[in-house]
Amino acid sequence: MYSKNHSANRWQIADWLELEPRLRASVIIPHEDGDLAAQEIHRYGDDPRFVQVLMLIRTAEPMGRRKYWKIYEAAVEHGLPVGVHFGGWGRGPITGVGFPSYYIEDTVGMATAFQDQITSLVFEGVFDRYPELQVVMIEGGFAWLPGLLWRMDRAWRLHRRDLPHVRRPPSEIVREHLWLTTQPMDEPPTRADFDELLLQMGMNDRLMFATDYPHWDFDAPDLALPARMDPTLRQAIMAGNALSCYRFDAAR
């Protein structure tokens, strides 16, 4: 596993980054082995062409578990966010109730994996231990976030005695440590519904455009967002928020 990931990162440099200086890459890691993953982050973490560490959303265990903490520690040491992308297998059924029959069930159900991982990261104290850690949830949608935050806050108020390390409402923690991407673009029936969704999320400065091109169901940048969106917000989602998250405009 180590040699494959090491080769993948070297391949990114040789075949992409050295040929096109405008490109940026993710450090690919064997995320089920914390020690080897941390070694890979330390190997490439100071190269300014690598702007995040990459994991997949379906891991063998919830991402808050201590087996993954060395990854977060290494990422923070190098000032890199951890990107968590749609996909992966883990070691159990790919839904919470077993294996589906059709790919569409997997596609729709993937959003629950993102919710489970956010819940794990918050309640197992990852952000308390690594207060500088930033996590980017990539291509899992975002319309589900307001309801998740309400549910987490309510559960925390009822059970906070069991979680002395979670000293603030989960919604506050999420809004300080989490970033999201638009793809797949959640499309409420009306523009007013979309505006209300953004208001309830409260994370306009942490939502970034993602296209998923060249997959057949990609989101085109000129069509994904509502036509009459506020120009300042559109610019933030399309470019400004990513500049802030990945520090493209900062010397590393």
Q: What confidence tens digit (pLDDT) does each residue in 90-147 have?
A: 887 878 888 889 989 988 888 999 999 999 999 999 999 999 999 999 999 999 999 9
CA distance 126 to 109: 25
Measure the CA–CA gap between 55 and 16, rounded to whole angstroms: 20
- Say yes or no to pLDDT of 4 above 70: no
Instruction: Tell me the pLDDT band of 3, cut-offs 50, 70 and 90.
Output: low
* DSSP codes of every residue in 25-81: EEEE--TT-HHHHHHHHHHHTT-TTEEEEEEEEE-SS-TTSGGGHHHHHHHHHTT--
Residue 2's pLDDT is 52
> What integer is the mean pLDDT of 1-20?
85
pLDDT, tens digit, 9 for 90 and up, residues 42-74: 999 999 999 999 999 999 999 999 999 999 999
- How many CB atoms are closer than 10 A to CB 172? 12
pLDDT of residue 170: 98
pLDDT for position 237: 96
In the block, residue with structure tokens 């059970």: 159
Mean pLDDT of the chain: 92
Contact (Cβ atoms closer than 8 angstroms) between residue 80 and residue 41: yes
What confidence tier does 232 reach under pLDDT thresholds 50, 70, 90?
Answer: very high
d(CA 8, CA 22): 19
Report the C-alpha dihedral over residues 166, 172, 176, 181, rounded to 10 degrees. Answer: 110
Cα-Cα-Cα-Cα dihedral sign, residues 117, 205, 53, 17: positive
Domain parsing of the chain, residue ranges: 2-246
What's residue 51's pLDDT? Answer: 97
| pLDDT at position 251 | 46
Helices and strands of the chain, counted as H and E runs: 10, 6
CATH no. of 2-246 = 3.20.20.140
Tokens 């993948």 locate to: 8
Q: How confident is the model at residue 249 (pLDDT cuts 50, 70, 90)?
A: low
pLDDT digits 0-9 by tens, 185-225:
887 888 889 999 999 999 999 999 999 988 888 899 888 88
Q: Using alpha carbons, list the distances in angstroms from residue 182 to 32, 211, 225.
A: 27, 8, 9
